[in-house]
Homo-oligomer: A and B are copies of this chain.
Amino acid sequence: MDWEKITARLNEFLAKGKHNELRGALMMLNPVDIAEYMKSLKGEQLVMVFRILPKDISADVFAYMDDGARKALIESIGDGEIRALISDMFLDDAVDFLEEMPANVVKRILQNADPHTREALNQLLKYPENSAGSIMTIEYCEFHAGTTARQALDEVKRTGIDKETIYTLYVIDRGRHLLGTVALRKLILAADGAPVETLMDASACVSVKTLDDQETVADTVRKYDLLSIPVVDNENRLVGIITADDIMDVIEEENTEDFEKMAALLPSDGEYLKTSAVQMAIKRMPWLIVLMFSAILTGSIILHFETLLAGAVGLTAFIPMLMDTGGNCGAQASTLVIRGLALNQVQFRDFFKVLWKEFRVSLMVGFVLAGLTFLRLLFFSEWDAGVAAVVATSLYCTVILSKAIGCSLPLLAKKVHLDPALMASPLITTIVDMCSLMIFFSIASHYLL
């Protein structure tokens, strides 16, 4: 059954007030899809459908709803319902949700949470945005060294239902320092009396610190192919874990941020359709203004060669081709280097290796582009061989220079701890524009005047 038929069926039950049928139909769906369906509802209907859901899945559905609907819902339900909802949610989902809510809503929710949950939430809300601490959960299974496999397994059976994952278990010493991890599979296969620390993975345990950036966390999880990673404080005491499903969202978030920076946009949190036009304009303006004023410099280069151009206005027709090709060449090089840096495949110490590679690439690419241009001008235009040679030479130099600039700037940015993604197409284009016109007019005024 496709999605449109499903929603049509649900809407029919809803319109006719057939609440039991609606509940039955909803329970056939994944919580993610129920949340998707609830996006289309408003006001009383939204609250009604939410109340119809069985308690054990309503918290899950709530975690996947969008912020607007969650806010509306919280404002319409009673304090008791809020308490039940928050205590049924995984703590990391609850923190994500609270971080997006206005202060008065957060206050009401925290007031209604049970003391234990409130304390945990307050603790987690204190970590800076995008830090490991802010995305971790404290619902994991930990055991002190000395616990036997049997004791641990019994404990998992008793408390596992409330944990984010029971597939990796954490072993700590008396001071809560992280000693290592035990995979549930090992615990299941172990002899009853084996102490958990003897089941730990032999290789050193990988962990992150609470204040590490979520990008670092994602890189580490991806590098070591982990399903979850422990989070420790500065004294190596275990304070939480982060699971792979949350890491996938972090990876996409970090990529979106890079895409935005590379398109001269200030990074934003919201989805495209949910961001207001004013907010969007504000995110776009700063770089546009900076780059627009930089382009004045390029214009002044043209003015500088006014005498040359007055004698041969036709030369201006080559400006777009030189500027665009230079910009594109630079963007290609910078994109590959930025991406290489993001995936830890390229480091600053590779600077000369990268430069040398780009130089060889640009020799080949430039040769083909300049050659094609030379032949085109010679045979398919009214320009003479002198102009064709000047344009082709300028193009060749532009390609070489723009590749060199394009690959160097992201690496240099990395070195001085700027985000390499800022050194992308827009900025590179502006710089390369200036250089390409300077080259073109210099060569032209030397040989053609």
Contact = CB atoms under 8 A, between A and B. Distances in A.
B430 A324 contact: yes
B264 A328 contact: yes
A48 interface: no
**Within the oligomer, what is the number of copies of this chain?**
2
Contacts of A295: 320-321, 324-325
A339 B369 contact: no
Interface stretch (A70-78, A79-87, A127-135, A359-367): A359-367
A347 to B, nearest CB: 9
Nearest to A334: B263
B203 A185 contact: no
A300 B317 contact: yes
A190 to B, nearest CB: 10
A302 B323 contact: no
A226 to B, nearest CB: 7
A329 B365 CA distance: 28
A97 interface: no
Interface string A282-311: 001101110110011011101100100110
Contact of A340 (B272, B298, B345): B272
A318 interface: yes
A338 B258 CA distance: 13
A443 to B, nearest CB: 17
Interface of A: 27-32, 57, 153, 156-157, 160-161, 166-167, 184-185, 188-189, 202-204, 206, 221-227, 244-245, 247-249, 251-252, 255-256, 258-260, 262-265, 271-273, 277-278, 280-281, 284-285, 287-289, 291-292, 295-296, 298-300, 302-303, 306, 309-310, 313-314, 316-321, 323-325, 327-329, 331-332, 334-340, 343, 345-346, 350, 353-354, 357, 360-361, 364-365, 368-369, 372-373, 376, 425-426, 429-430, 433, 437
